[in-house]
Amino acid sequence: MSRVPDYDAVVIGAGFAGLYAVQKLTSLGFHVAGFERGEDVGGVWYWNRYPGARCDCESYYYSYGFSQDLQQDWTWSRRYAEQPEILNYLGHVADRFDLRRHFRFGAAVETLVFDEADEIWRVRAQGGPTVTARFVISAMGCLSAVNWPDIPGIRSFQGRLLHTADWPHDRVNFSGRRVGVIGTGASAVQAIPHIAREAAHLKVFQRTANWVLPAWNRASDPDFDAWVKAHYSEIRERCATSPGAVPFDAPTQSALETPEVDRQAIYQKYWDLGGMRFFTAFTDMFSNLEANATAQAFVRQQILKIVNDPETARALIPTTHPIGVKRPPLDDDYYETFNRPNVNLVDIRNAPIIEVVGQTVRTADADYEFDDLVVATGFDAITGALLALDVRGRGGVTLQSRWREGPSTYLGLGVAGFPNLFTITGPLSPAVLANMPTAVEQHVDWIADCLDHMRREGIGVIETTEAAEADWVSHANEIVGQTLYPHAESWYFGTNIPGKPRRFGVYLGGFGAYSDRCDGIAQAGYEGFRFTSAPN
Ligand code: FAD
Ligand code: NAP
């Protein structure tokens, strides 16, 4: 027999996903409690305050589309807004829709236990009382569990120790300092040029060279902004239906079938446009090694043109993976930074960092002393935040044991054996390979429709079936196998975390097609889900 819970739903996280989930559910009359471990809203944009932090999707579509008034009223100052502006935007959203009052801040959820007798979730945050809810909605983020590398002694570094994903709120001044940066992923690539401009000396420890593309960030153009505002409905619709949740045309021509001279011109055109649009040049960039090699050759030439020292240029050219299949960072003078006299690249591929002692980073062949050490080693992505909790479903089974071989979900939304638990942008959804605000809105809308449907029908429990989950996992894996993604070790596979099972965590079937499929499933009476029980 069900018991009346404290809340209809608990939402965990106050980033793009949690804020919209709370807005949407409360607007439908659900009684909702939000929990956020940070002291305020913002998610990624609350934590990642390193210099140079900004979005890599252009702001006019890396933003909410759910409110016509909001998108008409808000004006972005840059093509890709910087972290303070995005944080300000999310704060504005929280104020505008009066969302903060639903949240407890500084409240890290530690346990989620499904009570089978009462058909409710028992939720406990650090130091807080247990609350009960019919539904739990995870909005804990794909890139929110900080990854500290397992380098002995690193946490005891005797200078100033900083992690890009947990950056101090006060400005960090690097003037006159000897700085080391570990990592060359998207966070490091954004931070390095800014640190280099201030520091006395900067050394960048690179384990794997990355393909870096130009962002060409710039101040917003008022004419373009006016055009966007006049066309927002079409822009959002294009995002909703495109493979990457972006308002751009998908490619139509094959790189291999395009003559070399035209191919170069097309790559140049997309290089000059900037950003991830480079990957909309040709249809076969992600499926054919030979086609991908033509893109690599183009970018290799750009690196050689920009970087003055031939040895540094050679070290910066990736050799380990095709372009695009390990998240390519977007730069703001990244390659140019290595022409500065105060910057050195330390290639640690063959001489890894062995330990940190006092203020010294020790590699297999040298010691380097620093005042500041910036750790830009990313996240335990996609599953990290969820698996940090003690989550128990039916029969007391833990999520950790269910996902021992890697994450397994239906649509990235639900897990068999964990009733009434929804995961926004969860594992095996398009999530991090789509423009995320669009992906978030699609999931929240789908979940809200489902809860509304259950309320109208007097249904208390929804649960994905094991068969639907197994089919989804094998469908998602099959698509990965048709792409070049398995040619790179990456956080998409979880291989950045020692001991984590190697399973691709993202659905590659395209956002638009995925979204249609979710709608079709709902229209077919939530195919693949099982409904049981009626609440009091
Ligand atoms: P988050 O913003 O990560 O929010 C999750 C929240 O959950 C966090 O505030 C966290 O503190 C909270 N939380 C986690 N665990 C708990 C717990 N146990 N208890 C309570 N609270 C908890 N995506 C794009 O599409 N385009 C971009 O340009 C882009 N830029 C990015 C830049 C950076 C620096 C990073 C790190 C990521 C970027 N992303 C980008 C991906 C980013 O994850 C999404 O764009 C978006 O911010 C996700 O929002 P979210 O609400 O799902 O998750
Ligand atoms: P990341 O891409 O995982 O990069 C981590 C870096 O640290 C890699 O260069 C990695 O090397 C290195 N590293 C990890 N452990 C190491 C060790 N023990 N010794 C030496 N080097 C080590 O992390 P991130 O840069 O924070 O980015 C994560 C994701 O967040 C991005 O891919 C992106 O999706 C998102 N992000 C987005 C933006 C944006 O859109 N504006 C900005 C920042 C981040 P290896 O490659 O060899 O593992």
For residue 261, what are its two tokens?
């001279």
Reported confidence tier of residue 1, pLDDT bands at 50, 70, 90: very low
Calculate how far, in angstroms, residue 187's C-alpha sits from the geometric centre of ligand 2: 6
Name the pTM for this structure.
0.98
Separation between Cα atoms, residue 300 and residue 321, nearest integer Å? 13
Calculate how far, in angstroms, residue 308's C-alpha sits from the geometric centre of ligand 2: 25
Cα-trace Rg, the chain: 23
Calculate how far, in angstroms, residue 15's C-alpha sits from the geometric centre of ligand 1: 6
Closest atom of ligand 1 to CA, residue 385? 15
β-pair partners for 11: 34, 137
Residue with the smallest CA separation from ligand 2 atom 18 is 149
Counting ligands in written order, the one closest to the CA of 505 is 2
Q: What is the pLDDT of residues 358-390, one digit of tens each?
A: 999 999 999 999 999 999 999 999 999 999 999
Calculate how far, in angstroms, residue 359's C-alpha sits from the geometric centre of ligand 1: 31
- Top mutation candidate among 63, 78, 143, 399 for ligand 1, by most atoms within 8 Å of CB: 143
pLDDT score at 2: 56
Task: Tell me the Ramachandran region of residue 29: left when phi exceeds 0, alpha when psi lies from -120 to 50, beta otherwise.
Answer: left
Please report, rounded to a whole number, the percentage of residues in the chain having pLDDT higher than 90.
Answer: 98
β-pair partners for 33: 10
Tell whether ligand 2 has an atom less than 6 A from the beta carbon of residue 435: no
Counting ligands in written order, the one closest to the CA of 490 is 2
Q: What is the pLDDT of residues 245-257, one digit of tens each?
A: 999 998 999 999 9
Output b/e per residue, 227-236; b: 16+ Cβ within 10 A.
Answer: ebeeebeebb
Calculate how far, in angstroms, residue 240's C-alpha sits from the geometric centre of ligand 1: 20
Residue with the smallest CA separation from ligand 2 atom 6 is 183
Counting ligands in written order, the one closest to the CA of 189 is 2
pLDDT score at 532: 87
